[in-house]
């Protein structure tokens, strides 16, 4: 979809504008003089003119475009002073809900669909689909041996995850490391729950030389994103709920490839078609099935002989984007 005409005009004027400020004694720059007679339409070009000396062309392009779209939003909707005040108040209150465990601004981005849109416009277009990162990834998570156990008999139903990672040519992606994280059986991530260890259900796993991997964990459960702050107020104004479908997060890191950030969803989750952060992709929805025969479980599983049966299982066959 094209940009509003006022935005295109501002961007075009910006590209044509000569660099350098006005010199004392010369005639006033007509662009600066026009600021004295601003109109609801001309203010967009005036903003672009003000930015003509920005040191970064990319930053100038982004900010001029952003201002132009905001100006169009105000003009098209005839936003009132009171309505704009509500928006400013929401951003101000978001500061009080932001700390090292929660970021209300990221939540706004997620709930507005912006985080998902940034992912989609930068997606590779081939291989396993990408999705949003979310706020709960931990750098430097503990190493989990291939076949290892994250469940350890905790609350919730155990889940066996197995699969294989291939490169864009269909060969095993040697040297791949999987960063894995998810919520616990009570619906909370480790960062949200003081009763859990700080890295509970967070791990890094190196796949085998043939690209295969397996581990045991808990079956993730659907949950509500935090809705007690201004982002939650926005959901209520829109008549939306805060539910996310159950999912397992993963970052696939392989030599010679850009990291693939993604997540996987059980196909029987009731919230797939109403994900509050728009993270679901058709190619990431998978069957979770009950296994009753222990011999059908991967032989490499450390907990293979002790898992209660029947046990949930799913398979992730991952393909790294070509290129």
pLDDT in tens, 10-39: 545 544 444 444 444 455 565 555 688 999
pLDDT value at position 16? 43
Q: What is the pLDDT of residue 100?
A: 85
Q: Are residues 254 and 196 in the same domain?
A: yes
Considering the domain boundaries, does residue 94 fall inside one? no
Question: Which secondary-structure segment (H or E) carries 212?
Answer: strand 212-218
Instruction: Tell me the CA distances in angstroms from 262 to 7, 70, 118, 185, 255, one per residue in order.
Output: 33, 31, 13, 21, 18
Asked if 75 and 135 sit in the same domain, the reply is no
Q: What pLDDT does residue 9 have?
A: 55
pLDDT at position 12: 54
Closest by alpha carbon to 243, among 195, 218, 280, 285? 280
Q: Into how many domains does the chain fold?
A: 2
The residues, any chain, with a CB within 8 Å of residue 82's CB and separated by 6 or more, are none
Residue 35 in contact with residue 45, Cβ under 8 Å?
A: no
Structural domain contains residue 87 = no
Positions in the chain short of pLDDT 70: 1-34, 323
State residue 27's pLDDT score. Answer: 56
| Residue 94 and residue 87 in contact, taking contact as beta carbons nearer than 8 Å | no
Domain containing 249 equals 111-319
* Cis peptide bond upstream of 209, omega within 30: no
Residue 103 lies in a domain: no
Query: Does one domain contain both 160 and 272?
Result: yes
Tell me if 191 sits within 8 A of 136, measured CB to CB.
yes
Whether this model's pTM surpasses 0.75: yes
| In a domain? residue 98 | no
- Nearest residue to 205 via CA among 278, 128, 144, 247: 144
* 189 and 310 within one domain: yes
Q: Provide the pLDDT for residue 149.
A: 98
Q: Are residues 119 and 241 in the same domain?
A: yes
Same domain membership, residue 233 and residue 147:
yes
In this prediction, residue 5 carries a pLDDT of 53
Q: Are residues 30 and 156 in the same domain?
A: no
User: Which of helix, strand or coil describes residue 186?
Assistant: coil
d(CA 195, CA 184): 11
């Amino acid at each position: 979809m094209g940009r509003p005409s006022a935005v295109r005009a501002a961007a075009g004027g910006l590209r044509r504008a000569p660099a350098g400020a006005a010199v004392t004694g010369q005639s006033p720059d007509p662009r600066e003089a026009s600021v004295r007679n601003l109109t609801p339409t001309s203010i967009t070009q005036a903003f672009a003119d003000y930015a003509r000396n920005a040191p970064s062309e990319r930053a100038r392009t982004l900010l001029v475009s952003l201002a132009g779209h905001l100006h169009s939003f105000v003009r098209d909707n005839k936003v009132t002073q009171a309505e704009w005040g509500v928006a400013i108040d929401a951003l101000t209150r978001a500061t009080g809900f932001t700390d090292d465990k929660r970021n209300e601004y990221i939540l706004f981005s997620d709930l507005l669909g912006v985080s998902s849109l940034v992912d989609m416009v930068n997606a590779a277009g081939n291989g396993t689909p990408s999705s949003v990162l979310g706020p709960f990834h931990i750098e430097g998570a503990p190493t989990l041996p291939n076949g290892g156990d994250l469940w350890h008999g905790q609350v919730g139903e155990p889940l066996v995850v197995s699969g294989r990672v291939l490169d864009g040519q269909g060969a095993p992606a040697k040297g791949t490391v999987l960063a894995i994280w998810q919520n616990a059986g009570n619906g909370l991530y480790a960062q949200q729950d003081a009763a859990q260890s700080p890295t509970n259900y967070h791990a890094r796993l190196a796949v085998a030389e043939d690209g295969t991997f397996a581990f045991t964990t808990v079956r993730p459960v659907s949950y509500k994103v935090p809705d007690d702050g201004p982002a939650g107020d926005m959901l209520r104004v829109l008549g939306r709920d805060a539910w996310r479908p159950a999912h397992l997060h993963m970052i696939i890191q392989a030599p010679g490839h850009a990291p693939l950030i993604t997540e996987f969803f059980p196909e029987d989750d009731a919230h797939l078609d109403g994900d509050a952060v728009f993270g679901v992709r058709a190619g990431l929805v998978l069957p979770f099935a009950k296994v009753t025969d222990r011999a059908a479980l991967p032989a490499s599983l450390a907990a293979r002989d002790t898992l209660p049966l029947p046990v949930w299982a799913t398979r992730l066959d991952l393909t790294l984007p070509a290129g």
